[in-house]
């Protein structure tokens, strides 16, 4: 058995230390900017990893200004964390070197193990696990993108968002981790940790959940899971995590077709949908069916706060939006009560011509007419102050604004007022703003500014009123369960 220079017969399970290394080596570092071995190295540099970074490659001398070592054994200092981008058959040799260097964690981007469905590859994977155990090294992966921690300065792609924050995401899929990070960033979500862990050969979802349950930087946990090897251990870890903070789970391989695909992706045994849904519910986790739903609920749990309740006040958007908002609320179990007598009497003072026509949801096109004397924002403020409303939905109504002269200034003004009210409100407020996807540059910029102003204020923004209503409803269910 290869001996470590700082021998530790029992692999450490102090994940907090393992996931916060003070030095990192990239084995299989590459000068080719179109390769993972380059991406990992450049990510460490660009994200600002504070400790020493050691590229390892048998023939290169310098990459991105860093001295390259021909072998891990040649690295002069201590190495706590190794990122492996070498082919699978080199991993046993790497683990021997890791043992000598006292490495604590090896993150295996390296794939083509059991997920190929081949017996020789699966045999090599078992051998890797055995060697790691002997070496006192913990493994992340194989077949994974690994750790993304913007505070620490580690990531797997230099272009990923730098935004740090209260959300943790663990995923068997690297592709899905990238998608979630990119699509969460435009929603304003910052991450404590994101972890793509592939085949979960050693460290697995249960380890990560146990760690995140007690991680103080993490307030919300999201997970994409294809399969687990130890169901009981997983449910214990999940229950502990869900007791501590909201946990949102997207289960991949819920169907026969999905399960077959999962086997060739991460060699995961997916299990039946009914068993999974029941187990997730019993453990107190929130199950979602799509990546969009996952991100919507991460937004809801990260940004909504207040007392749960279902009486919803809705403003903004024209008449069609008002009707569709009411339908969406009702279909997702929210209530849309009439305006209170108090609000109606205040509207009567300010808008004697129209007050009796204004309802909940507030049809913004009524207020846009002549002689309204009251704005949607003003009514949102009244609802925020009224004890008769628990939740608020604020439609920005950008499609109308974009047709007006000076739309950029006008949109900014509406957003400013809504941001002010959203920040001051003790109640959960869901804002509705569609994507900044206009082919016209001026409109894209105006929408992008609106989006940015809302999410930088840490407000919960949803792209449609239906997704806002659905998310509020799931948030209320969860919060009621905690009350």
Interaction between residue 348 and a copy of itself (CB under 8 A): no
Angle between the 231-244 and 273-283 helix axes, to the nearest 10 degrees? Answer: 40
In this structure, what DSSP letter does residue 348 have? Answer: H
CA distance 100 to 113: 24
- Give the residue, chosen from 61, 126, 260, 409, that forms a contact with a copy of itself under the rule CB under 8 A: 260
Q: How far is the CB of 149 from a copy of itself (least distance, A)?
A: 18
Structural tokens at position 66: 């860093």
Q: How far is the CB of 67 from a copy of itself (least distance, A)?
A: 24
Give the interface segment with a copy of itself, choosing from 20-28, 63-71, 416-424, 431-439 (CB under 8 A). Answer: 431-439
Structural tokens at position 285: 């986790």
Q: How far is the CB of 217 from a copy of itself (least distance, A)?
A: 24
Q: How far is the CB of 110 from a copy of itself (least distance, A)?
A: 11
- Give the residue, chosen from 21, 51, 361, 428, that forms a contact with a copy of itself under the rule CB under 8 A: 361
Residues 6+ apart with CB under 8 A from 444: 436, 437, 438
Interaction between residue 329 and a copy of itself (CB under 8 A): yes
Dihedral angle of Cα 178, 182, 184, 190, to the nearest 10 degrees: 90
- Residue 407, SS3? helix
CB atoms within 10 A of CB 289: 10
Interaction between residue 229 and a copy of itself (CB under 8 A): no
- Give the residue, chosen from 104, 265, 310, 474, that forms a contact with a copy of itself under the rule CB under 8 A: 265
- Residue 148, SS3? strand
Which residues between 281 and 310 bind a copy of itself (CB under 8 A)?
A: 289-292
Interaction between residue 437 and a copy of itself (CB under 8 A): yes
Q: How far is the CB of 109 from a copy of itself (least distance, A)?
A: 11
Interaction between residue 112 and a copy of itself (CB under 8 A): yes
Q: Which helix (H) or strand (E) holds 147?
A: strand 146-148
Interface map 44-83 toward a copy of itself (x if CB under 8 A): ----------------------------------------
Interaction between residue 258 and a copy of itself (CB under 8 A): yes
Strands 191-196 and 146-148 come out as: antiparallel
- Give the residue, chosen from 117, 278, 352, 481, that forms a contact with a copy of itself under the rule CB under 8 A: 117
Q: How far is the CB of 236 from a copy of itself (least distance, A)?
A: 25
CA distance 244 to 240: 6
Q: Residue count at the site for a copy of itself (CB under 8 A)?
A: 87
Q: Which is nearer to a copy of itself, 1 or 330 (CB)?
A: 330
Q: Which is nearer to a copy of itself, 387 or 403 (CB)?
A: 403
CB atoms within 10 A of CB 77: 12
Q: Indicate the burial class of 408 (C-beta count within 10 angstroms; 0-12, 13-18, 19 or more).
A: middle
Q: How far is the CB of 318 from a copy of itself (least distance, A)?
A: 3
Strands 247-251 and 286-288 come out as: parallel
Interaction between residue 272 and a copy of itself (CB under 8 A): no
Which residues between 149 and 188 bind a copy of itself (CB under 8 A)?
A: 157, 159-160, 171-179, 182-183, 186
Q: Where are the beta strands (DSSP E) in 149-227?
A: 164-171, 191-196, 220-225
461 and 431 Cβ atoms separated by less than 8 Å: yes
Q: Which is nearer to a copy of itself, 388 or 448 (CB)?
A: 448
Interaction between residue 226 and a copy of itself (CB under 8 A): yes
Q: Which is nearer to a copy of itself, 8 or 331 (CB)?
A: 331
213 and 241 Cβ atoms separated by less than 8 Å: yes
Q: Indicate the burial class of 347 (C-beta count within 10 angstroms; 0-12, 13-18, 19 or more).
A: buried
Q: How far is the CB of 469 from a copy of itself (least distance, A)?
A: 11
């Amino acid at each position: 058995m290869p001996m470590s220079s700082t021998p530790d017969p029992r692999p450490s399970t102090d994940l907090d230390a393992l996931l916060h290394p003070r030095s990192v080596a990239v084995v299989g570092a590459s000068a080719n900017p179109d390769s993972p071995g380059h991406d990992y190295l450049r990510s460490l540099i660009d994200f600002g990893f504070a400790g020493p970074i050691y590229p390892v490659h048998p023939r290169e001398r310098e990459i991105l200004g860093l001295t390259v070592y021909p072998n891990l054994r040649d690295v002069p200092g201590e190495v706590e964390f190794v990122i492996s981008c070498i082919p699978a058959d080199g991993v046993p040799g790497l683990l021997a070197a890791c043992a000598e260097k006292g490495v604590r964690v090896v993150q295996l981007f390296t794939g083509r193990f059991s997920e190929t469905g081949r017996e020789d590859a699966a045999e090599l994977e078992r051998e890797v696990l055995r060697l790691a155990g002997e070496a006192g090294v913990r493994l992340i992966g194989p077949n994974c993108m690994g750790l993304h921690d913007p505070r620490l300065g580690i990531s797997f792609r230099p272009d990923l968002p730098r935004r740090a924050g209260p959300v943790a995401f663990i995923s068997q899929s690297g592709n899905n981790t990238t998608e979630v990070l990119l699509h969460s960033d435009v929603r304003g979500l910052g991450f404590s940790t994101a972890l793509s862990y592939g085949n979960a050969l050693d460290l697995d979802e249960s380890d990560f959940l146990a760690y995140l349950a007690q991680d103080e930087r993490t307030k919300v946990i999201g997970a994409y899971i294809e399969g687990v090897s130890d169901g009981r251990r997983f449910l214990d870890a999940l229950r502990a995590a869900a007791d501590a903070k909201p946990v949102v789970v997207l289960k991949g391989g819920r169907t026969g077709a999905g399960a077959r695909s999962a086997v060739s992706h991460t060699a995961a045994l997916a299990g039946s949908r009914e068993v999974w849904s029941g187990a997730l519910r019993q453990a107190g986790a929130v199950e979602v069916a799509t990546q969009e739903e996952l991100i919507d609920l991460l937004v809801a749990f990260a940004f909504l706060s207040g007392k749960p309740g279902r009486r919803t006040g809705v403003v903004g958007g024209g008449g069609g939006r008002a009707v569709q908002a009411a339908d969406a609320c009702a279909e997702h179990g929210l209530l849309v009560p009439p305006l209170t007598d108090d609000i109606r009497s205040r509207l009567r003072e300010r808008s004697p011509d129209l007050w009796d026509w204004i309802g909940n949801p507030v049809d913004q096109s009524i207020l846009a007419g002549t002689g309204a004397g009251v704005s949607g924002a003003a009514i949102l403020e009244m609802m925020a102050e009224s004890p008769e409303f628990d939740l608020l939905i604020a439609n920005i109504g950008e499609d109308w604004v974009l047709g007006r002269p000076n739309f950029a200034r006008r949109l900014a003004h509406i957003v400013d007022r809504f941001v002010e009210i959203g920040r001051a409100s003790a109640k959960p407020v869901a804002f509705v703003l569609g994507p900044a996807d206009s082919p016209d540059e001026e409109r894209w910029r105006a929408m992008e500014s609106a989006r940015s102003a809302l999410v930088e204020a840490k407000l919960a923004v949803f792209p449609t009123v239906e997704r806002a209503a659905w998310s509020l409803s799931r948030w209320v269910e969860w919060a009621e369960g905690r009350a």
